[in-house]
Amino acid sequence: MLRAPARLLKAAVLAIGLVASAGAMAQTAICYNCPPEWADWASQLRAIKDKAGITVPPDNKNSGQTLAQLVAEKASPVADMAYYGVTFGIQAKKEGVTAAYKPAGWAEIPDGLKDADGHWFTIHSGTLGFMVNTDALKGKPVPRSWADLLKPEYKGLVGYLDPASAFVGYVGAVAVNAARGGTLDNFGPAIEWFKALKKNEPIVPKQTSYARVLSGEIAILLDYDFNAYRAKYKDKAAVEFVIPAEGTVVVPYVMSAVAKGPNSANAHKALDFILSNEGQAIWANAFLRPVRSSAISKEAQARFLPASEYARARTVDYGRMAEVQKAFSDRYLREAQ
């Protein structure tokens, strides 16, 4: 039997351990869809821990998987914040899985790039095009248009993320549809293009495929400028970014605080950092367009294609894009997958 002092000492040690454990938990925020290989989230997650004191474990979901899980866990949330393409952010608010929060830097986010009450807000944007591993082409010319990708010479070389699941895949569908004369109320041109592309045996993964382009497994991927620039300038890969001749789209990526997230205070600190000068500069240095444009340096700007190329990148009605997404996904699955 322990004497009183020993019992007290043991109890004190146990209490200290519990406090330490609780403290460690209190400094964590769970983010759905913060994948280290995508958009240099690796650097952002390190900075959030170093500068804001919040540990955010990496998570490799895509936008569609994130929304589905948030809805499934609505009664007992696991995540504290989420990152996704703008249409999924709009849908998440409609599903009631987001919480209103206006992070530091809110006033500098342009209207149209944020929900009025703070249920979602843009952190950066990207322009969709072709991420091309020129070595993997093995002497074939770099494709310059949507029409080029349908040529037999690119059989087995083209990849795109599943547009019924991943947001970047849906953006690719919106982009090719608009480039070939479609509208958000008429996806016929996109469906016909995907059906034609099937003859070239495309690779259609569901999740981020950056590494597969670097390895040459996928030679041409429908992806964003920031991933191509990262491959070229940071990873020193033989990668070129192409804005197709017929045009493309530019889209924002957004974040939300999760309704009734178990670590909401920590999530708020992380979101504040992401919108801070330092957090936004990380995106700019990773070749993204930060939503607070003052954070992009001249050095980072110089690595983008000329403005004359970006003139072919259009904005769209993102609210309408969100409204028609499910109908497009259903049609794609029926007719073109």
Q: What CA–CA distance (Å, rounded) separates 222 from 143?
A: 12
Output 19 or 234, whichever has higher pLDDT.
234
Please determine, for residue 22, whether its predicted confidence score (pLDDT) is greater than 50. Answer: no
pTM of the shown model: 0.75
- Whole-number average pLDDT of the chain: 91
Q: What does the pLDDT look like over 72-113, one tens digit per residue? A: 999 999 999 999 999 999 999 999 999 999 999 999 998 888
Query: Which of 15-29, 63-77, 151-165, 189-203 shows the lowest mean pLDDT across its residues?
Result: 15-29
Please determine, for residue 253, whether its predicted confidence score (pLDDT) is greater than 50. Answer: yes
Contact assessment for residue 183 and residue 140, using Cβ atoms and an 8 Å cutoff: no
What is the chain's percent helix, strand, coil content, to nearest 5?
Answer: 45, 15, 35
Query: Which of 44-48, 112-116, 117-121, 274-278 shows the lowest mean pLDDT across its residues?
Result: 112-116
Q: What is the pLDDT of residue 294?
A: 78
Q: What CA–CA distance (Å, rounded) separates 116 from 48?
A: 26
Q: DSSP code of 144?
A: -
Q: Span 238-250, mean pLDDT?
A: 97
Q: What is the pLDDT of residue 11?
A: 45
Q: With CA atoms as reference, report the closest residue to 90 among 326, 280, 331.
A: 326
Q: What CA–CA distance (Å, rounded) separates 3 from 71?
A: 53
Q: What is the pLDDT of residue 12?
A: 44
- How many residues are there in the chain? 337
Q: With CA atoms as reference, report the closest residue to 160 among 194, 113, 195, 118.
A: 194
Count CB atoms within 10 A of the CB of residue 36: 16
- The owner of tokens 């569609």 is 64
Q: What is the pLDDT of residue 286?
A: 84
Q: What is the pLDDT of residue 247?
A: 97
Query: Mapping DSSP to helix (H, G, I), strand (E, B) and coil, where does residue 227 land?
Result: helix
Contact assessment for residue 253 and residue 90, using Cβ atoms and an 8 Å cutoff: no
Please determine, for residue 331, whether its predicted confidence score (pLDDT) is greater than 90. Answer: yes
Contact assessment for residue 229 and residue 236, using Cβ atoms and an 8 Å cutoff: no
State the DSSP string of 62-77. Answer: -HHHHHHHHHHTTTS-
Q: Give bridge partners of residue 248 from the DSSP assignment.
A: 313
With a pLDDT cut of 90, the percent of the chain lying above it is 77
